[in-house]
Structure 1
Amino acid sequence: MGPSPAPDSLFLREARPSDIPALHPLIEISVRRLQSGDYSPEQIAGALGTVFGVDTQLIADCTYFVVESPSAGLVGCGGWSKRKTLFGSDHANVRENDLLDPRVDAARIRAFFIHPDWARKGIGTRILNACEAAAHAAGFRRLEMGATLTGEKLYSRKGYVALESLEVPLANGALLPVIRMAKKLDE
C-alpha cells in the first residue's frame, strides 16, 4: 500500500454491496496482522470467515461504514446493528436477526477492521463516532459489543466498560476470547 495521506483526505461512507469483494481481503489482512499479538494462528484461522468476516446484513441495513483512501481504496470498516446478533459474519453458526427495541435494548457495535498500514491514524475512532451517532439517531441510548482483545484497548479509551469475558468455540476446536462491552450514550 504506499504512503498514507493525511487522515482528512479519507472519505467515510456507508458500505455498498459492491464493496464486498474489497472487504474480504481487508478483513483478512487486518486480522492476520493486527490481531496476531493477541490470538494464536489457530484461533485466527478458526475465526476468519465466521467470527471475523463480512456480515452482509449490516450492509443491507445501511449500518456498515467504510473509510476509503483516494490512493489505496478501502482502509477501514465497521458498523453498528439494530439486530440481536452480537458478532460474526454471514457464516457464523449463531445468528439472531430479530430487530432490537431501542427503548429497552442496546444497539450492537460490529465488525471493525482497519488495514495494518493505516492503523492508529484515527480511522477506528472515526468509524466508531459515526456508528454511535447513527445508533443514537435511531433512538438507541445504549451500545454493546463483543470486542476482540485487540479492539478492547480502543473501546476502553472511548468509554466502553467490560461486562464479561466470553470464549467463542470455533469450528477447528479452538476457543476465541472476546469481551462483552457496553456504553451508555448521552440523552
Structure 2
Amino acid sequence: MVEIRPARATDGEALVSVHVAAVRELGAAAYESAQVDAWAANKSPDGYPVDVDTAHFVVATRNGAVVGFGHLEFGVDEVQAVYVHPDYARTGVGRALLDHLEKTAQAAGLERLTLLASKNAVGFYERHGWRGLEWVDHESTGAVVLECLRMEKPVGQSFSIE
C-alpha cells in the first residue's frame, strides 16, 4: 500500500536517492549518458522545496520508506516533479502521487495544470489524461539540454488508461 504524506526536511537524503535512481535507470531509456549524468548531478538533500509556501511537496512511502515524490508549484499551476524509485515503477506509486497532486490543485481552485515531461515519462502522463502541447528544450544541470514535452490537463478531469 502506498501512503502519501507531506515531505519533511528530514526526507532530504531519501529524496536524493529516489531522484538520482529514477533519472539514472528510467531516464537512460530516453536520453544519452551525458544528458542523464547532467540530469542526475548536483542533487542536494536541502535542494527540495519541502517548506515553501508556494509549493505542495509530498512523498510516497511503502512500509515507512520513501519510494517517490511529487511537487506541485502554485502560482504557475505546474506539476514540477513526479519521481518514483525504479524498484517501485509501474506499481501504482506514480499514479498515487499524480492523483494526489491533481486533487490538491482541484481543492485549491485551479482550472488547468501544466508540466514538462521527460521523453521517458510522456506515456505515463498520456495514460492519465494529459495532452501534449509542444516539444521544448529544457536546460538541465551543467547547461545540458533535455528535450521535453510541455503537457496540460484540465483540473478535475478523470481519465486513466491502465
Of 15, 19, 22, the residue aligned with 2:11 is: 19
Structure 2 gap ranges (5+): 158-162
Aligned residues: 155
Of 131, 136, 149, the residue aligned with 1:166 is: 136
Partner of 1:28: 20
Three-state SS of the structure 2 residue aligned to 1:35 is helix
Please, which moves more after superposition, 10-19 or 133-142? 10-19
- What is the CA distance between 1:170 and its match in structure 2? 4.0
- What is the CA distance between 1:83 and its match in structure 2? 3.5
Percent pairwise identity:
27
Answering whether residue 57 of structure 2 is matched by residue 64 of structure 1, we say: yes
Three-state SS of the structure 1 residue aligned to 2:129 is coil
Answering whether residue 85 of structure 2 is matched by residue 115 of structure 1, we say: yes
Partner of 1:99: none
Structure that is richer in strand per residue: 2
Partner of 1:126: 96
Answering whether residue 30 of structure 2 is matched by residue 41 of structure 1, we say: no
Counterpart residue type for residue 38 of structure 1: A
* Partner deviation per Cα, 1:1-59 (whole Å, 9 max, x = no partner): xxxxxxx2x321111111112111110011100111001110011222479x9753354
Question: For 1:69-88, what aligned pairs fall within 5 Å after superposition?
Answer: 69-70=62-63, 73-84=65-76
CA RMSD, aligned part only? 2.2
Three-state SS of the structure 2 residue aligned to 1:79 is strand
Q: Which of structures 1 and 2 has the bigger CA Rg?
A: 1
Structure 1 gap ranges (5+): 1-7, 85-106
* Partner deviation per Cα, 1:55-99 (whole Å, 9 max, x = no partner): 53354236111111216x111111211033xxxxxxxxxxxxxxx
Matched-pair contact (CA < 8 Å) for 2:103–2:156: no
Q: Could you tell me how far apart the structure 1 residues matched to 2:86 and 2:7 are?
A: 20
Question: For 1:3-14, what aligned pairs fall within 5 Å after superposition?
Answer: 8=1, 10-14=2-6
Structure that is richer in helix per residue: 2
TM-score normalised over the length of structure 1: 0.75
